[in-house]
A and B are shown apart, each in its own frame.
Chain A
C-alpha cells in the first residue's frame, strides 16, 4: 500500500467521501475512483457499470469495482443520466490501477443539478480526510 504522501491526487478534480473523483467538462461530468481507492483494492479484475441511459440520484449505488480479494460499491458523485461508460474496462480492468484518472475513467454523467459538484471535496479537503 502506498503512503499517503505518495498518492497521486490531481488538483483539477473533485473528490467524494467514497474515494471517487469527478471532473466537469462542459455539460458532462466524468468520474472514476481515486488513486487511494485503487491502491487499497489491489489488482482490479472487474468493473460493473450500468447501461447508458440510466438515471441515478446523488449517492445512489450504480455499480461495483472488484479486485481478487475485495469488492467495493460505486456511488453516484452527483445525480444525473449516464451518457457514456468506458467500454475498454471490460477487457482491461487493470487500467483503473495504472491510470485511474485518464485511461481508467469509468462513467460520464449529464448532471441533473450542476451545483452538486461544488459540494464535493477539493484535493486539500480529500487529503485531510485521508490523513484524519
Chain B
C-alpha cells in the first residue's frame, strides 16, 4: 500500500483578532496630515468601532497561520462535483492588478475607460461564441444572480407578450438556486421528476407544460453528470406552448465547442465564470454570472450595455424593455479581466478542456465502479456520481468516506447532492488533473473502501489530521454564536 498523501505537520493555533494586540499599535501607514482638523457637530460623532490595534507583523502572522489551516486547489485535488475546481492561472492575477484596471473608477468618462469597455465588449463576443447565444450581459455578480436575471427576463418577456405566467418547471435534479431564483421573481416552482435513467423524459415535461407556465430551467449536462439526451424534444414542447427555456450553465465545462446551446433550444443561459473560466473561488466568492441570450431576448437584458461604434466603445442605457439593473455598476469587472485572460490564453483549446474533463471523469468512473455503487452505469460527462450503498453494511456512510478522504490528502467530492440520489458522492476532477494525480486519488478511494470493510471506525473517527475533528453543527445551530 502506498504512503498516504495526507500526513501530520506543524501548524499553529491562532487566537481571534480581538484577543490580540495592544492599544496604540497600527499596521497601516497613515498618510501625512497636511490640513487642519475641521469642526464637526458633537451630536453626529460616535466613539469609533472597537477594533483591536495590531502591528503589521501581528496581522501578517495571523493570516499566514490561518491560511495554513485551509485546503485550496493549489494544495491538492479538489473534486467537488458541479463546482469545477480547476487550476486558477496566476497570470490572471497579474492582469487584474494592472493599475490601469484596478485603480479605475466605474464612472470615469468614456474617453478614459476605453480599455475596460473594449475588454467587456470582446468578452461578450467570446462568451456569445462559446455558448452559441450571441447577446450577452456581464452584469450579474454570481451564478445565482445570473439566474435571477434570467427569471426577470422570463417575467418581462411574458408581460410584454401581454400574458403574465405564474409557473416555472424545474427538474428534481436541479441546484437549489433554481427554485429559489424562480420564487424571487414570483414564479411557482413546479418539480419535474427525472426518469429512471436519470434524465428528463419528454412525456413528463409535456404532462406539466401549459400556457400558464413561463418555461423550464434545465441544467445540461445535468447534476448527475449525464447529458440530457431528450433536450431538443423538451425544448420543443416548451416552445410550442409559448414558454422559454432557461439553461443553467454551471456544467459548461463538459460541452465547450461540442454543443451549441442555441441549436438545442435554450433561450437564456447563465455561466459561472468562477467554475468554467478559471477565476478563483476565494473561499466562497466573488464569482460572476454572465447571461447569454438569443437575439429575440436581447431587448430585455440589463443596462447599461457595452456597444461598439466604429473604433470606440460606449455605454448605452436606451433599452426600454430592459429588466433594469442587478449590480450598482457593470458587474464584477475584476473577475471579467481574469476570464478574458483565460479565454485569450486558451482560444479554441477550450474544446480540449472539455474533452479532457470528460475523459478524466470517465476514467474515475470506470476505475472505481467495482468499489463504489454507481447508480447510472452509462458514459458520464465531466462528473460522475457514486453512492455509499456498498459500504452501508459496514455502517459506513457517504459522510464518513468524505471525512476520511481528507486524511488521505484530498478535498472531498460534493456529498448528498443531487437530492434524487441517496448518499450521493459527486466527483468532478476537471481537466487540470494529470493521470498520476487521478491514479493516486483512485488508490486512496480504493483504500477507503477497504478500510470501510476492515476498520469502519477508522472512517467514523475521521478526519484525524486536520486542525479540527468533526464539528458539532447541531450546537452551532441551536445556540448560534455568530460574532465574538
- B-contact bits for A52-77, CB 8 A (1 contact / 0 none): 00000000000000101100000000
Chain A residues closer than 8 Å to B474, beta-carbon distance: 43, 45, 68
Chain A residues closer than 8 Å to B41, beta-carbon distance: none
Q: Is A126 an interface residue (CB 8 A)?
A: no
B438-484 residues with Cβ-Cβ distance < 8 A to A are 473-474, 477-478
Q: Is A104 an interface residue (CB 8 A)?
A: no
Chain A residues closer than 8 Å to B477, beta-carbon distance: 45-46, 66, 68
Nearest-neighbor residue (CB-CB) of B416 within chain A: A69
Total number of A-B contacts with CB less than 8 angstroms?
14
How many interface residues does chain B have, given as a range? Answer: under 10
Chain B residues closer than 8 Å to A45, beta-carbon distance: 474, 477-478
- B-contact bits for A26-63, CB 8 A (1 contact / 0 none): 00000000000000000101100000000000000000
Nearest-neighbor residue (CB-CB) of B477 within chain A: A45
Q: Is A100 an interface residue (CB 8 A)?
A: no
Nearest-neighbor residue (CB-CB) of A43 within chain B: B474
A5-39 residues with Cβ-Cβ distance < 8 A to B are none
Q: Is A93 an interface residue (CB 8 A)?
A: yes
Nearest-neighbor residue (CB-CB) of A42 within chain B: B474
User: What CA separation (Å) do A46 and B416 show in the bound complex?
Assistant: 22
Q: Is A94 an interface residue (CB 8 A)?
A: yes
User: What CA separation (Å) do A94 and B477 show in the bound complex?
Assistant: 12
User: What CA separation (Å) do A92 and B466 show in the bound complex?
Assistant: 32
- B450 CB to closest chain A CB, in angstroms? 26
- B421 CB to closest chain A CB, in angstroms? 16
Chain B residues closer than 8 Å to A43, beta-carbon distance: 474, 478
- A104 CB to closest chain B CB, in angstroms? 14
Select which of A46, A68, A94 is within 8 A of B473 by beta carbon.
Answer: A68
Chain A residues closer than 8 Å to B473, beta-carbon distance: 68
- B356 CB to closest chain A CB, in angstroms? 35
Chain A residues closer than 8 Å to B478, beta-carbon distance: 43, 45-46, 93-94
- A97 CB to closest chain B CB, in angstroms? 10
- B397 CB to closest chain A CB, in angstroms? 11
- A-contact bits for B407-435, CB 8 A (1 contact / 0 none): 00000000010000000000000000000
Nearest-neighbor residue (CB-CB) of A93 within chain B: B478
User: What CA separation (Å) do A66 and B473 show in the bound complex?
Assistant: 13
Nearest-neighbor residue (CB-CB) of A66 within chain B: B477
User: What CA separation (Å) do A45 and B473 show in the bound complex?
Assistant: 10
- A73 CB to closest chain B CB, in angstroms? 15
- B423 CB to closest chain A CB, in angstroms? 12
User: What CA separation (Å) do A101 and B7 show in the bound complex?
Assistant: 48
- A-contact bits for B289-301, CB 8 A (1 contact / 0 none): 0000000000000
Taking Cβ atoms with an 8 Å cutoff, the residues of B that contact A are 416, 473-474, 477-478
12 other A-B residue contacts (CB within 8 Å) besides A46-B478, A68-B473: A43-B474, A43-B478, A45-B474, A45-B477, A45-B478, A46-B477, A66-B477, A68-B474, A68-B477, A69-B416, A93-B478, A94-B478
13 intermolecular pairs with C-beta atoms under 8 Å apart: A43-B474, A43-B478, A45-B474, A45-B477, A45-B478, A46-B477, A66-B477, A68-B473, A68-B474, A68-B477, A69-B416, A93-B478, A94-B478
